[in-house]
Structure 1
Amino acid sequence: MTEQKRILIAVMITSFIGPFMGSSVNIAVPAMAEDFNMMPDELTWAVTAFLIGSAATLLPFGRLADIKGRRRIYLQGLACICATTLVCAVVQNFLAFIFVRFLQGLSMSMIFGTSMALLVSCCGAENRGKTIGLSAACVYSGVSLGPFIGGFITDYLGWRMIFGLIGIALLINFFLIFKVKIDWYGAKDKKFDYIGSIIYLVMIVLFLYGLSDWTRHEFVHYMPFIAFILFLLFIYEQKKVASPLVDLSIFKNIVFTMSNIAALIHYSATFALGFVLSLYLQLVRGMDAFTAGGFLLIQPFIMTIVSPKAGALSDKFSSRLIASLGMGMMMIGLFAFSFLDKDTSFYLIGINLAFIGLGFGLFASPNNNAIMGAVEAKFYGVASSILAVMRLTGQAISMSLVTLLLSIFTAEAIESNYVDILLHSFKYIFILFGFLCIIALFASLMRGKENVK
């Protein structure tokens, strides 16, 4: 097997496992809540802690990969994620579990920050859209099968086996890429910006934690404002340092900048959809985890089919129009979900999930292709990292918003009216997500025309 094929297979596997683990955890939340003796809305931290850890270190690790070697950082990330995943399978204390999930996120950022750069580096420009589409298909396959397989494992083997089996799969993947000797660099022999990395890490953690825990502690209210000050300090520091964490000149490219903004808002509006619908199907409609997981298969199944075709199409036609069409479809679908009640037809829910899946598939691959196609080869590493930062930060914002709204609505809830209040909160969550899609649609349209390759 050639080294190029090893990299391609390894990246495809981790592209599958990352979202598979996320969607599996979503479907397992009610069982985890029962095991830890917690309310289901409090288990949002099982997802949020992972995302905060990933988003806070992804950009620094992406830059470190450009300096020390992308394969090298990717391999180290695999070793760390194997260890933390297996620990998640056995830890008994809830706070310890959340902390390990945070460490798991830190480990996964070493993979997220390098995988796209590895793919683009080892394939030709003429196949970039197709390769990105295949990677996206693996992502959506993971999202698709996560609820289904995760629900089965949760019902028959226990939710902890989800982490155990994923840890074993990651260990196999580690040995697959361990034999690859070639490496790729984007800024070899450059100095690493430790000060900028620390500022960035603290900024992301304060912002996302402050947003998530807003209603529980008064001192948390100051965190997002401190994060904004740190953001301004980060921009100033990056302009002054000789070897910055990220070359800010890359954002002068309008296609690159607006495509990333669209991606950020898109994931902020859509990522928590699976989590919210998992709670709706299991707690409001009474489904077991396996049945709910099978039902949620509809959306990512459509995404998996559409994504490679949309990616290949964006190699020939404008990514802007294809992606914007997809964003408009997701906006309509999310607003439609704000009308969910206890008696909504499962047929209508399934049709809307398929509609949103089609929109997601049309948006993601063309938008990613526009981002990677807007920069020179020497910027592939930083562009890959920024794209991953947008995705993970958006996902973390999505879960933080859900955590915030659920904590507001369920603050005074008692067991007898908990489900009714939970259902009421879903309406406002979906309305908020719909408005975020409107903003993302404008960003997608404002990116301008890119060069069709």
Structure 2
Amino acid sequence: MDLQTSLKRNALFAAVLSSFLGPFTASSVTVALPRIGSDLAMDAISLSWVATAYLLSAAAFLVPVGRASDIYGRKKVFLWGLALSNVSSAVAAFSTSGTTLIFWRIIQGMGSSMIFGTGVTIVASVYPASERGRALGIVLTSVYVGLSAGPFIGGVLTDYLGWRFLFFTNVAIGVLVLAVTLWKIKQEWAEAKGEKFDVIGSVLYVAAFTSAMYGLATLPSTRGFSFLIGGLAGLFLFGLWELKVEHPVLQIRLFMNNRAFLYSNLATLINYSATFAITFLMSLYLQYIKKLSPQAAGLILVSQPSIQALLSSFAGKMSDRHEPRIVASMGMISLVIALMLFGFLSERTNTYLIVLNLAFLGFGFALFVSPNTNAIMSSVDKKFFGVASGTMSTMRVIGQTLSMGIVMFVFMLFMGRIQITREHYGEFLQSTRVTFFIFAFLSFLGIFASLARGKIHKRTGNGL
């Protein structure tokens, strides 16, 4: 085996393990939320923050971390992220209150932001454009394997050992990824080495983004509007600063002059805004309304990511041969149909129909995500892979945060700050149905964003 082939395999192996870690943690914790809420006396809104705080923190740091990896080394940032994630996960397992758990989820999100983008970036750095779609498809398959294993393993651990063991499992996987990376990956990638890191822009971005997303998640309160307006103003100032600084943390011109990059990231944002909270809602629905155990609910939820895992590599190969916008748009159309069907959920909805619709959602996800990722990474020069991957991951996590924000907003309108008990099941079901119709409408808009990106094949990377 030549050195380049060995490097590609080792980089892919490390990226696969790290890409498994985050989704596994998120999906396993989601299925345990009702038990966490009971043990720590948390209402529906507070439970939402267990997921949202992690996402908000990860999203806030993704762009600065992506730029730092281009300058200081992608493997170095990757390793530090693994270390921070492992430590915060271990401490989170000992949380004695909802506030403490949410705090350590924030720290865990910071570590995850250093893992999210760099794994994909390393793979994109070592694979040529003709093989990149397949490689990214394999990486994304591991994401869905993590999503598949999370609900089942999370349900089993929660039933027999308690939800705290979910975080210990995360530590065990993280330590394995850390060891494999140190042992197998010797090369470093830093195409922007020597350029100055934009500290002012990074601080402005993190503060403004956090303010805007926190404000969105706490609407319709007056405090929520204040934080949202302040955050949006800060992001506007950030954009002006980035256009004038010599080495910006985010290449604004990538959006201004690169149509494929712009619309592919917009499609990512819309897709995750419309889909991320599905697992959260269905986990609550299956355990509260259908009276299933965490283990049984996890088994049902596995049907969606299992189909994604089976088809993602195939979808990636399709995007190497055919235009990613066509394949991805077919996936978005499938999502619209599935989300509309979930808009009619009731107490009497047949469980088999739920499994079939979750599998159909997985089919739509698989057709969208791999081709869309391929389109983003193929639309820029290698020098900007870290920024491109960080931006894509940011759009994903912003979308995930928006998705949870929509759920929290609808819950606040229909339920308020109450625990989900039998007398409030009607309000919960109404909230769930309204949310799914909102998600279906967002996915419908995403079809047009996906189609608008233009052709990717025969396009040379565009640095600006």
Distance 1:406 1:247, change over 3 A: same
The question of whether the paired residues in 2 share the 8 Å contact of 1:152 and 1:290 is answered with yes
2:275 to 263, 270, 277: 270
Deviation, structure 1 residue 3 = 4.7
Which residue of 1 is the match for residue 43 of structure 2?
A: 39
1:343 to 335, 343, 348: 348
* Separation of aligned partners in 2, 1:64 and 1:412: 40
Deviation, structure 1 residue 41 = 4.1
* Separation of aligned partners in 2, 1:298 and 1:375: 35
The question of whether the paired residues in 2 share the 8 Å contact of 1:329 and 1:359 is answered with yes
The question of whether the paired residues in 2 share the 8 Å contact of 1:323 and 1:367 is answered with yes
1:447 to 445, 453, 464: 453
* Separation of aligned partners in 2, 1:349 and 1:168: 33
The answer to whether residue 355 in structure 2 is matched with residue 331 in structure 1 is: no
The within-5 A match list for 1:29-428 is 29-179=33-183, 180-215=185-220, 217-251=221-255, 252-411=257-416, 415-428=421-434
* Separation of aligned partners in 2, 1:86 and 1:122: 33
Q: What amino acid sits opposite 2:58 in the alignment? A: S
| Percent identity (aligned) | 39
TM-score (norm 2): 0.95
Q: What amino acid sits opposite 1:229 in the alignment? A: A
* Separation of aligned partners in 1, 2:104 and 2:285: 27
The question of whether the paired residues in 2 share the 8 Å contact of 1:330 and 1:437 is answered with yes
* Separation of aligned partners in 2, 1:412 and 1:197: 35
Q: Which stretches in structure 2 are left out of the alignment for 5+ residues?
A: 460-464
1:14 to 18, 37, 44: 18
* Separation of aligned partners in 2, 1:41 and 1:230: 27
Which residue of 2 is the match for residue 436 of structure 1?
A: 442
* Separation of aligned partners in 1, 2:238 and 2:455: 30
* Separation of aligned partners in 2, 1:440 and 1:387: 15
* Separation of aligned partners in 1, 2:252 and 2:76: 25
Distance 1:237 1:183, change over 3 A: same
The question of whether the paired residues in 1 share the 8 Å contact of 2:46 and 2:98 is answered with no
Q: Which stretches in structure 1 are left out of the alignment for 5+ residues?
A: none
- Structure 1 residues 377-431: Cα deviation after superposition (integer angstroms, max 9, x where no partner): 2221111111111111111111111112112211276845211111110011001
* Separation of aligned partners in 2, 1:359 and 1:324: 9
Deviation, structure 1 residue 182 = 1.5
The question of whether the paired residues in 1 share the 8 Å contact of 2:7 and 2:126 is answered with no
* Separation of aligned partners in 2, 1:235 and 1:273: 32
Aligned residues: 452
* Separation of aligned partners in 1, 2:137 and 2:443: 22
Q: What amino acid sits opposite 2:443 in the alignment? A: C
Deviation, structure 1 residue 126 = 2.0
The question of whether the paired residues in 1 share the 8 Å contact of 2:44 and 2:418 is answered with no
- Structure 1 residues 20-39: Cα deviation after superposition (integer angstroms, max 9, x where no partner): 11111110000000110122
* Separation of aligned partners in 2, 1:422 and 1:359: 26
The question of whether the paired residues in 1 share the 8 Å contact of 2:152 and 2:295 is answered with yes
Q: What amino acid sits opposite 2:430 in the alignment? A: H
Q: What amino acid sits opposite 1:436 in the alignment? A: L
Judge which range, 243-252 or 43-52, deviates more.
Answer: 243-252
Deviation, structure 1 residue 42 = 2.4
* Separation of aligned partners in 2, 1:190 and 1:308: 36
Deviation, structure 1 residue 19 = 0.4
* Separation of aligned partners in 2, 1:318 and 1:51: 31
Q: What is the Cα-based RMSD across aligned positions, in Å?
A: 1.5
Q: What amino acid sits opposite 1:45 in the alignment? A: W
Which residue of 1 is the match for residue 462 of structure 2?
A: none
Deviation, structure 1 residue 138 = 0.2
* Separation of aligned partners in 2, 1:248 and 1:39: 40
* Separation of aligned partners in 2, 1:58 and 1:85: 19
* Separation of aligned partners in 2, 1:172 and 1:443: 39
* Separation of aligned partners in 2, 1:234 and 1:425: 36
* Separation of aligned partners in 2, 1:188 and 1:41: 44
* Separation of aligned partners in 1, 2:97 and 2:46: 14
- Structure 1 residues 229-251: Cα deviation after superposition (integer angstroms, max 9, x where no partner): 11110110001111100122212
The question of whether the paired residues in 2 share the 8 Å contact of 1:45 and 1:98 is answered with yes
* Separation of aligned partners in 1, 2:329 and 2:234: 33
